[in-house]
Structure 1
């Protein structure tokens, strides 16, 4: 499938709160599958405070809006320009990628991912890391078809 063209631009202040609120809701929903809802909500809040302490101005983080060829917003990406645990600058980190509902299954995820990879390369990274929840089959498929490999894996069984 050929990916449509996208352009990434910096997120504006008026877009930031809506994006982070929506991203946090989705993150809490995913976390709630592996921990109690209250703990998931608290973890999401702690992670946002830890990784985006200065919001859009957080150093070495890029919050990006993806627009298609006609200027319509088709998705978003949040990339850190270093690895979150080690702070190694040779590995950028994809914290979030999302495609607006009406544009899903149209190649925009692949296009946004490729554009984020270019941002990471331009910043000097030679790798782009990410985490994906095990039940997110669409994302896993996207990453695999784009050449991403499993580096670590956690497993659990409900008892």
Structure 2
């Protein structure tokens, strides 16, 4: 049964926006990405930013999904940012067939190309069955994953790795390496060109660290074994539903020290430091191509709260 996309009538926009906002809130809370008031506050900020002119926002398209008899099957929200078309909301009354998903993706690809996009991105919560059914097997790959460990486990583990606060003398080299490493990861993820990645890495680092090593809520560590540095750790303190929450912003084992179990020990150290700083949860972001890190984190009890899937055109 073929599917088509038609613009959502202007008279239905406010109703759709209220429902889509609630879906975003519910999705965040169900996945654990954002909880309580955080989920509602994020939804308000998100819609204000992505739909600044409401139904007249030129970069956004809200479409009806209809069959060949023009019966509505659901709605779809697409937003263009730069050269990337984001699939931000898919709401269907019942599961679409494989053929309907094939046709729906084909129509999204046509729209993306017409709008000048070179990629399609689909941020999805783990429980979003319709979204995963749409992208699975249709050229999308996992670009990045948000994860959380909650509550912090009580582990009785011995450690060879000694973690200490990073010195002011060590910090400039860490800053350079972190910026370059993140830019390389952005390129490897397929999300940015080398030039875009360098600019984005620099932007994020400056945003996170306006006062460098002395930025409030940021803690930096070096890890050593028998006096030899083997890695670094950067934790940023956040709030999660009104409670202290730690976020792993950077973790790295030195290239010549890998495959010795130090990555796992650094993650154990992150748990200890997070608890010392008053947090009862830790979040992190990992690129989809880094399968070894994903396996490590999931083995430690982290769970996925959101994935960003990407398809090149």
Normalised to the residue count of structure 2, the TM-score between the two structures is 0.47
| Cα 1:9–1:88 shift into 2, 3 Å | farther
> Which residue is equivalent to 1:21?
176
Q: Which has the larger radius of gyration?
A: 2
CA deviation vs aligned residue, 1:104-139 (integer Å, no higher than 9, x gap): 111000001101111101111111000000001121
**Alignment check: 8 A CA contact 1:8 1:66 kept:** yes
Runs of 4+ in 1 over 3 A off after TM superposition: 86-89
| Cα 1:17–1:74 shift into 2, 3 Å | same
> Which residue is equivalent to 1:127?
281
* Structure 1, gaps ≥5 residues long: none
| Cα 1:10–1:87 shift into 2, 3 Å | farther
| Cα 1:20–1:3 shift into 2, 3 Å | farther
Residue 42, structure 1, aligned to residue 199, structure 2: yes
Normalised to the residue count of structure 1, the TM-score between the two structures is 0.91
**Alignment check: 8 A CA contact 1:10 1:64 kept:** yes
Residue 94, structure 1, aligned to residue 248, structure 2: yes
| Cα 1:117–1:74 shift into 2, 3 Å | same
> Which residue is equivalent to 1:53?
210
CA distance in 2, matches of 1:57, 1:92: 17
Single out whichever of 5-14 and 103-112 deviates more from structure 2: 5-14
> Which residue is equivalent to 2:231?
75
* Structure 2, gaps ≥5 residues long: 1-156
> Which residue is equivalent to 1:66?
223
CA distance in 1, matches of 2:158, 2:301: 15
Taking only aligned residues, the RMSD between alpha carbons, in angstroms, comes to 1.7
Q: How many residue pairs get matched?
A: 155
